Structure 1
Amino acid sequence: MKKERNSSVEMLRILAMLGIVIMHTNGPAMERGLESVFVWTQIENGIFNAGVSIFVLISGYFGIRRSAQKLIELESTVILYAVLSALVGCYFGKASILNIIKSFIPISTNCYWFISCYIVLMVFSPYINKAIDLMNEPQHRQLIILMSAVFLIAPTVLYYSVLGGGGKNVINMLLLYFLGSYIRKYSLSEKFDKKVLLKILITTTVLNVLLNSLISIATGGKPHIPFARDCSIFIVIEAVALMMLFMKVEFHSNFINRVAKHVFAVYLFEGAFRKIIQNVVFDYSIYEGEWCWPLVNIAIALIAMLSCLSIDVLAQWILRPFRKAALKVLGGIIKISQKSSFITRA
C-alpha cells in the first residue's frame, strides 16, 4: 500500500508560497527604498526568502522522477500561465509583442528562472539520483560541505558569488537537492529535537534580519538584503530547520494535499493577477507609506494566492485533454522510432 505523504510537509509548501507572494507584493516598495517599510522589508525578507530553498529541499528529500507525463504536465502549465501573464502585461502596457512570443517557449527564454532550473534538474534526475545512490555518507557529506563553501558561505561572507544572480541558478538548486536527499537518506531530522531546531531557526533568522538592517543603515538607509539571498548560508539553514520541524509533525489531510498540488500555479500567475487587482480593482500601493502596509501586504498576497489556486483548478481541467493528446502523439513517435531501429538492426 502506498504511504500517504505527510500533510505537514504539504502545509509547509503552501506557507512557503504565501511567503514568496508576500515578498513579491512588497518588492516595489522595497525597490523605491521607502523608509516607512524598512523594518517590514527586513523582517519579511529575513523570514520568507527561505521559500524557494524549502521547495528544492523537499524535492531533494522525496526525489524528482523524470517521466514524459510529468514533463508534459509541467510544460503545458508553464506555457499557459506564461502566455496569460504576457497578455495581461501587454494589456496594461507593461509588456510587448516579443514578450508574448517568448511566453510560448518559457523554459528556453527563462520566463521563470525557478521553473527553468527545475526542468533541468528533472531532465538529469536519473543520473543525479543514481549518483546519490552510489555515494556513501562521507562522500555525500563532503560534496555538500564543498558546494556550500563555494556557493553559500563565500557569497555570504564576500557578497559576490562566482555564479552571480544571488543564488538563482541550477547549481545552487542542485546543492539544495543533494542536501534534501542527505536529510532523507541518513535520517538527519531524527538527530535534532524540536527545541534545538527552533533555536537554530530563531537564531539564524534574527542574525539575518539584524545583519541586513546594519548593512542597509551603513549604506544609506535603503533596504538591502545580502544575507537573505538564495545563496546565503543563513537562508539555507532557516529552510533546513523549517523543513525538519514540519517533518516532525505528522498528520494527514486530503484537503491540504489537494491544495498543495496547485501552489505551483500561484508562483506562475500571482504577479499578473496582482497587476489586475492594482489596475482594475484598486491601487493598493497607496498604502505603502502607511502604518497598515504590512497588513495590506499580507491581505493582497492572500487574495492573489487564493484566486490563483481557484483559477488553477479550472486550468488543470482544461489542459487535461491536450495533455492526453500530447502523450498519445509522443507514444506514437516512440513506437515508430523503436520500429525503425529494429528494422535497421535487422
Structure 2
Amino acid sequence: MFMILESHFVIHNDYDFSQIPIGFERFFLVVFMADAGKIGVVVFFTISAWFLIDKEVALYSSLKRLWILEREVLFYSIILGVVYYCTDLIGTKVLAKSFLPLLTNTWWYVSAYALFLVFLPFVLSGLRLLGKEKHLSLAVISLILLGVLRYIPGFPAADDSYATFILLFIVISAYKWYFKPLNIVKSVLCIIIGICFMILRFSVFDAAYMFSGFNKPDAFGQVYVFPVLMVGFGLFSLFNQMTFHSKVVNRIAKSAFAVYLITDYPASEQLLWGRLFDLEHLYQYSFAIIKMLIILFCIYLICTVVDFMRQFIFAFSIDRNPGHLFDIFTNSIVSCRPYMRLRRFILSAMRDSMERTNRSL
C-alpha cells in the first residue's frame, strides 16, 4: 500500500514529473515510485485472491463479502464527502456521489473488485472444470493480454477494470494449482529481473528524450506490463515462503485499505498532491527523495491512526455481528412471494426449454 501511495504522489501530482531534468531524482521517481503503484496493486490483489482460490465460493457468500467491504467504503466516502463539502473543496454534486461510491466509481479499485466478486463464483467453477491443460493455456493467453500486448502501439491492452482482475485470477489460480511454489532464490531472481527490465525501459525512454525530444518516461509504466507482473508475483512469492507473526503488523495491515480510500478520494488527491505537496518544489530541495519518503510515511501513519478510530467505532457497532443485516435483507427477499413466483417461472421455463431440446434431438 505504501508503494501505491508513492505512485499516486507522482502520477496524480499537479506538476508533470516528466518535466524533471534527467538525473537521479527523475530515475527514482519513475522506476521506484511511479511504476511501484501497479506492482502494489498486483501484490494487494494477489493476497486477497490467494485465499479465495481453494474456497467454495457461492454467489451468496461473494455478495456478503462485498457487503462487508462496502461498509468501510461507504463510511469513508460519506465522512470524506461531508468534511470536504464543509471546507468548500467539493460541491453538492460530488457530495451526492459520495453516498453511492460503487456506482459512481469513486475508487476504481473498489468498483473493479466489486464486479470481480460478482463474477468470482462462476469464474472459479469454470476454471475447475477446464482441467490442467486448458487452464494453463488460458493462463498463457491471460499473461499475453496483460503483460505483452501493451507494448504494441494502439493495441487495447488491459487496464484498471474487473477484467484485469479476472485475468490476474486466472494466472494466480494456475500457479497455485499446478506449479510448485517458487523458492526464495527464484523469487528474488524474479524481482531482480523485473526491476532490470523496468530500468531498461526507463533508459530507453530517456535516451529517446535526449535524441528526439520524446518526453514520456511514464509510458507503459502505469499498466500491468510483464516486468510489473514479475516483480509483483516475485514479492508475493518471496514473503509467502516466510513464517512471521506479529500482532502489531496485523493491526497495521488492517488499516492498509483505509490508506487507499482516504488518500485516493478525489478531493484528497487535489489537497495532498495539488496544494500541500507540490512535486515541482519538493524535488529541488537537498535530499529531496528522502524528504518525499518521510512525507509519505507521515501521511500513511496519519491515515492508519484515523482508521484505528474507525475500527474502534465499528467494534462496538456493526462489527459485533458482521453481515447480519445482509442475512436479514436477503432472507426477506428470498421469502417474499414475488421472488418465489419469479423463481418458479424461471425454473419452469428452463425445464420446458430442456425438454423441447431433448425431443428435437
TM-score grouping bracket, smaller chain normalisation: 0.7 to 0.9
**CA separation of 1:130 and 1:229: change in aligned 2, threshold 3 A:** same
> Following the alignment from structure 2 to structure 1, what is the Cα–Cα distance between the partners of residues 325 and 235?
43
Superposition deviation, residue 48 in structure 1: 4.7
* Counterpart residue type for residue 16 of structure 2: E
TM-score by length of 2: 0.78
Residue of structure 2 in register with 1:80 after alignment: 75
Deviation string, structure 1 residues 260-306 (Cα, Å, up to 9, x no partner): 122111110024667667899x6565323224221122111111111
**CA separation of 1:266 and 1:58: change in aligned 2, threshold 3 A:** same
Q: Is the contact between residue 43 and residue 236 of structure 2 (CA under 8 Å) also seen in structure 1?
A: yes
Q: Tell me, what secondary structure is at the counterpart of 1:228? A: coil
Residue of structure 2 in register with 1:310 after alignment: 305
> Following the alignment from structure 2 to structure 1, what is the Cα–Cα distance between the partners of residues 41 and 4?
8
Residue of structure 2 in register with 1:150 after alignment: 145
Q: Is the contact between residue 50 and residue 230 of structure 1 (CA under 8 Å) also seen in structure 2?
A: no
Residue of structure 1 in register with 2:358 after alignment: none
Deviation string, structure 1 residues 203-242 (Cα, Å, up to 9, x no partner): 2212212212322442436452234233311111111111
* Counterpart residue type for residue 242 of structure 2: V
CA RMSD of aligned residues (A): 3.0
TM-score by length of 1: 0.81
Q: Is the contact between residue 21 and residue 301 of structure 1 (CA under 8 Å) also seen in structure 2?
A: yes
**CA separation of 1:337 and 1:198: change in aligned 2, threshold 3 A:** closer
> Following the alignment from structure 1 to structure 2, what is the Cα–Cα distance between the partners of residues 57 and 161?
26
Q: What is the correspondence of 1:137-176 to structure 2 with a 5 Å cutoff? A: 137-155=132-150, 157-162=151-156, 167-176=159-168
In the alignment, which of 324, 340, 345 is matched to residue 336 of structure 2?
Answer: 340
Q: Paired residues, what number?
A: 323
**CA separation of 1:103 and 1:274: change in aligned 2, threshold 3 A:** closer
**CA separation of 1:284 and 1:299: change in aligned 2, threshold 3 A:** farther
Superposition deviation, residue 106 in structure 1: 0.8
- Structure 1, 270-279 or 297-306: larger mean CA deviation: 270-279
> Following the alignment from structure 1 to structure 2, what is the Cα–Cα distance between the partners of residues 149 and 317?
45
Q: Tell me, what secondary structure is at the counterpart of 1:33? A: helix
Q: Tell me, what secondary structure is at the counterpart of 2:163? A: helix
> Following the alignment from structure 2 to structure 1, what is the Cα–Cα distance between the partners of residues 155 and 295?
33
> Following the alignment from structure 1 to structure 2, what is the Cα–Cα distance between the partners of residues 181 and 343?
36
Structure with max Cα Rg? 2
Residue of structure 2 in register with 1:113 after alignment: 108
**CA separation of 1:22 and 1:339: change in aligned 2, threshold 3 A:** closer
Superposition deviation, residue 72 in structure 1: 2.4
Q: What is the correspondence of 1:29-48 to structure 2 with a 5 Å cutoff? A: 31-36=16-21, 37-44=25-32, 45-48=34-37
In the alignment, which of 320, 327, 334 is matched to residue 331 of structure 1?
Answer: 327
Structure 2 unaligned blocks of 5 or more: 345-361
* Counterpart residue type for residue 40 of structure 2: G
**CA separation of 1:271 and 1:311: change in aligned 2, threshold 3 A:** same
Report 1 or 2 for greater relative contact order, CA contacts < 8 Å, sequence distance ≥ 6: 1
Q: Is the contact between residue 9 and residue 273 of structure 2 (CA under 8 Å) also seen in structure 1?
A: no
> Following the alignment from structure 2 to structure 1, what is the Cα–Cα distance between the partners of residues 340 and 68?
33
- Structure 1, 283-292 or 44-53: larger mean CA deviation: 283-292
> Following the alignment from structure 2 to structure 1, what is the Cα–Cα distance between the partners of residues 117 and 51?
13
Q: Is the contact between residue 200 and residue 238 of structure 1 (CA under 8 Å) also seen in structure 2?
A: yes
Superposition deviation, residue 121 in structure 1: 1.1
Superposition deviation, residue 309 in structure 1: 1.4
Percent of residue pairs bearing the same amino acid type: 20
Q: Is the contact between residue 106 and residue 112 of structure 1 (CA under 8 Å) also seen in structure 2?
A: yes
In the alignment, which of 196, 213, 219 is matched to residue 206 of structure 1?
Answer: 196
Residue of structure 2 in register with 1:180 after alignment: 172
Superposition deviation, residue 110 in structure 1: 0.8
Residue of structure 1 in register with 2:250 after alignment: 257
Residue of structure 2 in register with 1:103 after alignment: 98
* Counterpart residue type for residue 26 of structure 1: V
In the alignment, which of 50, 59, 64 is matched to residue 61 of structure 1?
Answer: 50
> Following the alignment from structure 2 to structure 1, what is the Cα–Cα distance between the partners of residues 5 and 262?
10
Q: Tell me, what secondary structure is at the counterpart of 2:18? A: coil
Q: Tell me, what secondary structure is at the counterpart of 1:250? A: coil
> Following the alignment from structure 1 to structure 2, what is the Cα–Cα distance between the partners of residues 331 and 60?
24
> Following the alignment from structure 1 to structure 2, what is the Cα–Cα distance between the partners of residues 305 and 313?
12
Superposition deviation, residue 325 in structure 1: 8.7
Structure 1 unaligned blocks of 5 or more: 1-16
- Structure 1, 77-86 or 293-302: larger mean CA deviation: 77-86
Deviation string, structure 1 residues 93-149 (Cα, Å, up to 9, x no partner): 543221111111111111111111111111222212222322322111111111222
> Following the alignment from structure 2 to structure 1, what is the Cα–Cα distance between the partners of residues 197 and 286?
25
**CA separation of 1:230 and 1:88: change in aligned 2, threshold 3 A:** farther
* Counterpart residue type for residue 39 of structure 1: F
Superposition deviation, residue 60 in structure 1: 2.4
